[in-house]
Amino acid sequence: MNKEQTAKLKLKQTFPLTIKRLGINGEGVGYFKKQVVFVPGALPGEEVVAEATKVNPKFSEAKIKKIRKKSPYRVQAPCPLFGECGGCQLQHLRYDRQLAEKRDIIKQALERHTKLNPEKLNIKETIGMDDPWRYRNKSQFQLGVKGGKVIAGLYSMNTHHLIDIEDCTVQQPHTIKATTTVKSILQDLHIPIYNEKTRKGIVRTIVTRVGVQTGELQIVLITSKRDLPKKSLIIEEIKKRLPAVKSIIQNVNGQKTSLIFGEESLHLDGEAFIQEMLGDIEFELSARTFFQLNPEQTVKLYNEVKKAAALTGKEKVVDAYCGVGTIGLWLADGAREIRGMDIIKESIQDAKKNAKKHGVTHAQYVTGKAEEWMPKWVKEGWKPDVIVVDPPRTGLDQQLLQTILKVQPEKIVYVSCNPSTLAKDIAILDKKYKVNSIQPVDMFPQTAHVEAVTELTLK
């Protein structure tokens, strides 16, 4: 290894740095002697004195010691826990700039992973929120005990130090109130709280979800064992103190894992699900169902999907990764037929129920992977005109990409929550498809996340 390739920085070394852009996780990115340095909390255009906290041959990480030249867009973060709990990364950046930087994060990903020139692509301005606070409809707070008091919150970044969150500026107030109330009930009834180190105790996590349009609340208690002490008292107190609660569920997870939910859910009281509306479509949400966390922006996102799909009533549409059928139902009035698939059986059951409830008879839903179902349908003579994909952060399955290139639908509408995997997938689809437009949508204000709706058409 020659000297050029070895790390140029030493641990704890302080050095001047100009921040060029924001990285994918919301950190400032600068270059020291041509080596990339990531600095959490630094903003584009700032000149800082940084201290190296981690040194690798390919990149380094540093923290701000001093800001010499401040960004004109730097603001005071309203949350007292900003920088500590790690849930938000951009509260210190003025909101209109957050939207501009998110568009830039997509451009950077395309530069890095494709041969396309982002300057020549139609990448639109990011669609933001009028009020970018208090939007999350679900919270998952871990429990702990500190000084004899039950606390609930999130682990501090890269640590196992639990931060008690009394209020959260990006959560719906209903979810915070519900969590705080359940926390006091567990305290009052002396319910044993799970301890990660000793693996003793019962209640691990409080999950709350609110139907923003319906006001219905669901409480899920994640426990390490099936046996929940004083169960009927807990239920009674929740109902007394939180009349909006429509559904109380216990989920059992005895594993040593960072996954929140276990396999077994027990229905304790009320309904097994809560109702939520998106536009004029109603959805039933059971405890483990995936549902977008920001319903107000979801409507904007799905309207962009509708715009990109531009259906005329003649098209056969595949809704891959369909979940509970949200996108398919959103497009149903313009499609000749919709076929959706998902690997989670419960989601497909919910999708069928949702379609039936809204009188959508031209949709069918199957359990399994798109890359297995689509070739089967093509063999039977059913070829989609439009495929809508809304994959997890890992992007599209390689097999599905190859299937799409074989089946060649006229149009792909790609809903992405990760610019890097979107860009990598576009690079593969580029053989047959051209990018018509990319519309970024800000689903998670104050964080580094950005979603995008990409319209691709057959070349």
Distance between CA atoms of residues 323 and 329, nearest Å:
11
What residue ranges in 4-161 does DSSP mark as E strands?
14-22, 28-32, 35-39, 47-55, 59-69, 138-146, 149-155
- Say which DSSP state 79 is in: -
Q: Which residues contact 105 (CB under 8 A, 6 or more apart)?
A: 22, 24, 419, 448, 450
Distance between CA atoms of residues 25 and 35, nearest Å:
18
Distance between CA atoms of residues 247 and 302, nearest Å:
27
The string over 207-245, giving b where at least 16 C-beta atoms fall within 10 Å of a residue's C-beta and e elsewhere, is bbbbbbbeebbbbbbbbbeeebeebeebbebbeeebeeb
What residue ranges in 70-147 does DSSP mark as E strands?
138-146
Distance between CA atoms of residues 51 and 39, nearest Å:
9
Bridge partners, residue 136, by sequence: 171
Distances (CA, A) of 442 to 101, 210, 234: 11, 21, 38
Q: Which of 79, 85, 168, 417 is catalytic?
A: 417
Active site residue 417: yes
**What tokens does 3 get?**
């000297």
Taking the mean position of all CA atoms in its chain, how far away is CA 69? 33
351 by DSSP, 3-state: which? helix
- Helix extents (H) in 257-344: 295-309, 326-331
209 by DSSP, 3-state: which? strand
Distance between CA atoms of residues 9 and 120, nearest Å:
37
Catalytic residues: 417
